[in-house]
Structure 1
């Protein structure tokens, strides 16, 4: 049976299968893939089909797979900077595993990799890495003619449980300490980035992808066509956010032309200079959303600003109003 399927990379993968064997090849055009599939199917009927394992395609090492995956697949993702950086780190730190031929890899190799990295990484980071390792091997089989005798060795590896819940709020003096230490920052865009993060509650990726064509300072809004949860949204801007945006130079398509990794490193340096412990950039979003709730906005209104997919995800912010609720209950206590 011959098929032609469009891959996430945009290429068309033609595959011919018969009696448990298969042969695949990728093309830029669907017409080319269909033509090859018809010709390969004819060869199949004549008994000329060979599997990818027996075809004259050299077996790749995991390092070769990951380098090609980074250049061909990761580069097209919205999270390209972060994932490319992570893949480079994997290649540096896991040279023994990366040097193995993909056909020799076993699930136990990645179980050992998972357990080793759980000692120094967060569970979410390990899960992400296992995710792109599995996808890279899937792509290598589907598009690059590689063969995994026992199937994808990453697929059966149990993922650690993720608990990313944080309740970190800015403590007295921490915000001013950050702004006070910012004069030593290399980029003049770091301060407006931080101020906008606190004023809008937007995620780092949303702030960095924000484009001038989507900013309307008269209506005090910014449109985000791509967000983490896949839904576009329009974010209302406070007077402070409008002021910051109006003072930014417009010499780039993006309002804040910075890379995610450069911001991550710059924020770490800033946090250390300010003498602040255990604060992440994402904690500023948590602080912003908490302040929205404390200001009296309804959860539905906060959801429109923050972009949380489900109102239940905002329920953890309601505990921040406990003291206010106690005071209100005391005022109406008639028992």
Structure 2
């Protein structure tokens, strides 16, 4: 073996199976150059004897990025969900070796997410992403065995169709949302509950999807066309705007004087607090990008209101209120709401049946008119008997 200096850099050379190996150690330290020579010889010895090089156990953050890169063939919605969970998991475990994660870490993460108010389904999705990352490096088996030994299973998920927001709770929510630090939450909430649009549909709305009539600087009336929905039935549906939806949109649009037809209705932005009153203000606006998530703002709002609803319950409220009106046909409900699942139809069918009964009850009288009808029927029957 030989280490020598060429210019300011050390090189090494040695014979390996009759072949001269010469390379730069890329250092001006003779000691480091000797270590580089030994490492190179060791590498060749392992290769010639077909001894596989043992991979170093990566940090969780690196393993998570590699796993996410392997999911690029997924549907955009699924990929977006995994990207979100990889980001949150990296915050929790990013600087730890992936082999160090245990069943206790999984359970602590689950408990933390529940305490943060996340829905069981959301928590299960995040645990599934964690499982995929650990499994990709061969470290899930031990964790799974320990979870099964303790009898730990997935969190039970809600499979109902949600619930409608009562009029009383809506007023509580509106008061809490008005005091929220998120300026976008009020127009988002009003549009969701008055149009039945899903969160993803609200995010995808652009100015060109709105047909508005302006009078004296405010929106007098209008309608929106859903550009993209999770179902074919929902894409392209036309939904008229309520008067309060027009009002909140008028105020919301005034915040973005430079917006164009292609701009998003709810663009990506950041919120700061300014002035002595520490009031929220919008800055760093990207009109060509949609708004991010507003789950945290929503959780804070319904917590302040003293109620608990999922954001998707806004859509259920919209459909329920339509179904409660006996003058609104099921075809109209479907045209406004888009796809409605079988379970939802069954529930709303029950609501419509009850609404029809209430309508008949009004015609029926149920009070003095009912007593009069009963007396009339008895008198008529007695007259027939005598004749």
The two structures have a TM-score, normalised by structure 2, of 0.53
Offset of 1:166 from its aligned partner? Answer: 5.8
1:281 aligned partner: 311
- Give the 3 Å change call, closer, same or farther, for CA 226–279 of structure 1 in structure 2: closer
Q: Is 2:232 aligned against 1:223?
A: no
Q: Which moved more, 1:197-206 or 1:313-322?
A: 313-322
State the distance in 2 between where 1:211 and 1:55 align: 53
1:192 aligned partner: 187
SS of 1:318's equivalent? helix
State the distance in 1 between where 2:158 and 2:75 align: 29
1:205 aligned partner: 200
2:26 aligned partner: none
Q: Is 2:266 aligned against 1:256?
A: yes
Offset of 1:83 from its aligned partner? Answer: 5.0
Q: Could you list the per-position Cα deviations for residues 98-127 of structure 1 after superposition, in whole angstroms to 9, with x for gaps in the alignment?
A: 6333xx989x78986798679756431233
Q: Is 2:326 aligned against 1:318?
A: no
SS of 1:60's equivalent? coil
2:16 aligned partner: none
- Give the 3 Å change call, closer, same or farther, for CA 283–100 of structure 1 in structure 2: same
Offset of 1:264 from its aligned partner? Answer: 1.7
Considering fraction of residues, name the structure with more strand: 2
Q: Is 2:237 aligned against 1:235?
A: yes
- Give the 3 Å change call, closer, same or farther, for CA 71–245 of structure 1 in structure 2: farther
Larger Rg: 2
State the distance in 1 between where 2:58 and 2:359 align: 67
Q: Could you list the per-position Cα deviations for residues 2-43 of structure 1 after superposition, in whole angstroms to 9, with x for gaps in the alignment?
A: xxxxxxxxxxxxxxxxxxxxxxxxxxxxxxxxxxxxxxxxxx
Offset of 1:265 from its aligned partner? Answer: 1.9
| Contact kept in structure 1, 2:193 and 2:318, CA below 8 Å | yes
Partner residue of 1:290 out of 320, 337, 349: 320
Aligned length: 271
Alignment of 1:137-176 (within 5 A): 141=136, 159-165=154-160, 167-176=162-171
Uncovered stretches (5+) of structure 2, i.e. residues with no partner: 1-47, 214-221, 269-290, 365-369, 378-387
Uncovered stretches (5+) of structure 1, i.e. residues with no partner: 1-47
- Give the 3 Å change call, closer, same or farther, for CA 114–172 of structure 1 in structure 2: same
SS of 1:233's equivalent? coil
Offset of 1:147 from its aligned partner? Answer: 6.0
- Give the 3 Å change call, closer, same or farther, for CA 105–90 of structure 1 in structure 2: closer
1:60 aligned partner: 58
| Contact kept in structure 1, 2:193 and 2:317, CA below 8 Å | yes
- RMSD, aligned α-carbons: 4.7
2:339 aligned partner: 308
2:98 aligned partner: 100
Q: Which moved more, 1:297-306 or 1:164-173?
A: 164-173
Alignment of 1:110-129 (within 5 A): 122-129=119-126
State the distance in 2 between where 1:264 and 1:200 align: 19
State the distance in 2 between where 1:137 and 1:320 align: 47
- Give the 3 Å change call, closer, same or farther, for CA 152–266 of structure 1 in structure 2: closer
| Contact kept in structure 1, 2:234 and 2:339, CA below 8 Å | no
| Contact kept in structure 2, 1:299 and 1:311, CA below 8 Å | no
- Give the 3 Å change call, closer, same or farther, for CA 309–327 of structure 1 in structure 2: closer
